[in-house]
């Protein structure tokens, strides 16, 4: 059961980092003085929101504080999440919306392009759309095979040429194939490249311009940014944007990052919408972006009104989750444990009943179990350590055993009388067999009572 959204969960590290710094300024007191505003701006910059976004958020909050006559820091912080959310650029073109489109994915090496293309292919195929993938990463070893794996997982077609061929030709083929089958969505994976390499960026420009000329569907270029790269992600996005005039951003690896604020820095700086968020390596770990959800996950709550209710709810959810898990665990373990014990005990009882020779062992055959003989209280105190008996009620146990031992004695006495009348078997052997059977029964009862209760 998911109590936190995957996005909120993925932003945990970023949120905790902000919380630590925010608590420092709140510890100084709730006054709305210069120290508070400067401290707040610093917290936002350190949270990777970027200088511009941090300044704009603080100015906006100062306006609200004046306009609404907010009394203190807590009242201001009630507006922090919404103010941050308002800074994100909206996706006016609805790039990943229902309209048919051809989308190129670009970015530095390892940012998550191929994985993102695969996840999107799955999501759109599941939504009933016809999707075609193009593997325009003809440079990296195994890049084509990697996308092929995703195309199979998503159950969509893929176009490729051999490694080393012209990526623009692959794009051409893919668009042609997409048109032939009436695809709603053409997703093209490109080779990762350093944003600082002029040659590689020029090559990419060529690819994008071929696609723009050839495609009859609207063409969008989307950069994939790894959230763990923080401010370097902003530099990457700037360079790619200069070269390609980007349309949108997908931020990946949010799950492993403490620099979630970078999404706002990029959106704000480049005036680009965030389209999706990568929250893991699985097929379903690509989430829609919602500015308010994101801001709440990134910052948490400090304001007077929001915080208490929300944190209480979180604590309750967490507690309920733990209780459910413990109950499930206990149920499973108990069932298995009981089954095992019952089976073991039944086997022991059966074995004991089937194998009377076991009773011929000297201590069983010759002695009627001294530890079960009734003992005087003073003897008991001297000879037994109560710890040896764990949770068994010692007195009851001894009374029971005494009764059983008495019964066993009587039974064997009767049998030996019978045996004396008959000369078929030697006296000692007959006595020993009778005792042995009684012993087995006594053991059986004892084991059954001990394990099963
Ligand atoms: N934790 C996590 N890992 C991710 C996410 N997205 C991608 N990855 C992992 O990041 C690694 C690189 O992903 P790729 O999709 O190969 O990246 P790429 O941009 O295509 O890489 P190149 O083609 O070499 O440029 C893989 O191990 C992915 O499983 C994400 O959202 N979260
Ligand atoms: Mg790749």
Q: So where are the chain's domains?
A: 305-337, 383-413+432-453
Nearest to 135 by CA among 107, 168, 110, 101: 168
**Lateral strand order in the sheet of 274-278:** 157-159, 131-136, 185-190, 101-106, 219-226, 248-252, 274-278, 286-288
The C-alpha angle 334, 340, 343, rounded to 5 degrees, equals 135
CA of 108 to the centre of ligand 1 (A): 11
- d(Cα 306, Cα 81) in Å, to the nearest integer? 10
For residue 414, count CB atoms less than 10 angstroms from its CB and return exposed for 0-12, middle for 13-18, buried for 19 or more.
Answer: exposed
- The pLDDT assigned to 411 comes to 55
Cβ–ligand 1 contact at 10 (below 6 Å):
no
The span from the CA of 183 to the CA of 101, in Å, is 9
| Residue 184 near residue 124, CB atoms below 8 Å | yes
CA 363 centroid distance within chain: 57
User: Which of 223, 250, 281 maximizes ligand 1 atoms within 8 Å of its Cβ, making it the mutation to test the pocket?
Assistant: 281
So what's the pLDDT on residue 326? 58
**Mutation test residue for ligand 1: of 13, 110, 263, the one with most atoms within 8 Å of CB:** 110
Q: Which residues in 36-166 belong to E strands, given as ranges?
A: 101-106, 131-136, 157-159
Q: How far apart are CA 431 and CA 36, in angstroms?
A: 95
Residue 244 CB contacts under 8 Å (≥ 6 apart), including other chains? 106, 204, 205, 208, 221
The set of long-range contacts for 434-437, using a CB threshold of 8 Å and a minimum separation of 24, is 435/359, 435/365, 435/368, 435/408, 436/356, 436/359, 436/360, 436/364, 436/365, 437/356, 437/359
Digit-by-digit pLDDT tens for the chain (453 residues) are 445 689 999 999 999 999 999 999 999 999 999 999 999 999 999 999 999 999 999 999 999 999 999 999 999 999 999 999 999 999 999 999 999 999 999 999 999 999 999 999 999 999 999 999 999 999 999 999 999 999 999 999 999 999 999 999 999 999 999 999 999 999 999 999 999 999 999 999 999 999 999 999 999 999 999 999 999 999 999 999 999 999 999 999 999 899 999 999 999 999 999 999 999 999 999 999 999 999 999 999 887 654 444 454 555 455 555 555 555 555 555 444 444 444 554 565 466 555 444 444 444 444 444 444 444 444 434 443 444 433 444 444 445 555 665 565 555 555 544 444 444 433 344 444 555 556 566 655 655 555 454
Report the pLDDT value the prediction gives residue 133, as an integer from 0 to 100: 98
pLDDT of 438 reads: 62
Identify the nearest ligand to the CA of 147 by its number: 2
Say whether 422 sits in a helix, a strand or coil.
coil
Tallying the residues shown for the chain, one arrives at 453
What separation in Å is there between the alpha carbon of 19 and the centre of ligand 1?
A: 29
Q: Is the CB of 226 under 6 A from ligand 1?
A: no
- Taking CA atoms, 136 is separated from 165, 211, 213, 292, in Å, by 9, 11, 17, 35
Q: Is the CB of 114 under 6 A from ligand 1?
A: yes
The reported pLDDT for the residue numbered 301 is 86
**Please, are residues 283 and 149 in contact by the beta-carbon 8 Å criterion?**
no
Q: State the pLDDT at residue 444.
A: 56
pLDDT number for residue 302: 82
- Supply 188's token pair: 């093209």
Ligand nearest to the CA of residue 286, numbered in listed order: 1
Q: How far is the CA of 224 from the centre of ligand 1 (A)?
A: 10
91 alpha carbon – ligand 1 mean position (Å): 24
CA 238/CA 135 separation, integer angstroms: 25
């Amino acid at each position: 059961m998911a109590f936190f959204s995957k996005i909120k969960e993925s932003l945990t590290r970023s949120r905790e980092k902000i919380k630590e710094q925010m608590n420092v300024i709140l510890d100084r007191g709730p006054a709305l003085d210069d120290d508070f505003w400067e401290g707040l701006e610093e917290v936002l910059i350190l949270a990777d929101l970027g200088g511009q976004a941090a300044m704009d958020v603080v100015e906006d909050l100062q306006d609200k504080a004046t306009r609404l006559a907010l009394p203190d820091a807590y009242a201001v912080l009630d507006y922090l999440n919404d103010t941050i959310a308002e800074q994100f650029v909206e996706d006016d073109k609805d790039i990943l919306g229902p309209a048919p489109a051809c989308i190129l994915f670009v970015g530095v090496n390892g940012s998550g392009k191929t994985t993102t293309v695969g996840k999107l292919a799955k999501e759109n195929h599941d939504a009933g759309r016809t999707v075609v993938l193009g593997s325009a990463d003809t440079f990296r070893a195994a890049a084509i095979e990697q996308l092929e794996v995703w195309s199979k997982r998503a159950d969509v077609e893929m176009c490729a040429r051999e490694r080393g061929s012209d990526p623009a030709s692959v794009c051409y083929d893919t668009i042609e194939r997409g048109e032939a089958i009436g695809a709603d969505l053409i997703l093209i994976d490109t080779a990762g490249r350093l944003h600082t390499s002029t040659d590689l960026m020029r090559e990419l420009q060529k690819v994008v311009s071929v696609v723009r000329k050839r495609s009859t569907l609207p063409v969008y270029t989307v950069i994939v940014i790894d959230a763990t790269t923080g401010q370097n992600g902003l530099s990457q996005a700037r360079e790619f944007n200069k070269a390609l005039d980007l349309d949108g951003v997908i931020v990946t690896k949010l799950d492993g990052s403490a620099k979630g604020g970078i999404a706002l820095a990029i959106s704000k700086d480049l005036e680009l919408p965030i389209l999706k968020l990568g929250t893991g390596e699985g097929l379903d770990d690509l989430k829609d972006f919602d500015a308010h959800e994101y801001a709440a996950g990134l910052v948490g709550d400090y304001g007077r009104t929001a915080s208490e209710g929300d944190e209480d709810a979180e604590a309750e959810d967490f507690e309920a989750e733990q209780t459910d898990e413990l109950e499930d665990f206990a149920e499973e373990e108990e069932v298995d444990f009981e089954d095992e014990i019952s089976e073991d005990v039944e086997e022991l009882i059966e074995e004991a009943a089937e194998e009377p020779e076991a009773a011929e062992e000297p201590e069983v055959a010759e002695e009627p179990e001294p530890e079960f003989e009734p003992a005087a209280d003073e003897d008991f105190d001297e000879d037994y350590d109560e710890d040896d008996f764990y949770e068994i009620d010692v007195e009851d146990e001894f009374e029971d055993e005494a009764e059983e031992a008495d019964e066993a004695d009587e039974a064997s006495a009767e049998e030996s009388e019978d045996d004396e009348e008959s000369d078929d078997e030697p006296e000692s052997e007959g006595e020993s067999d009778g005792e042995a059977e009684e012993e087995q029964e006594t053991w059986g009862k004892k084991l059954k009572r001990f394990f099963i209760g």
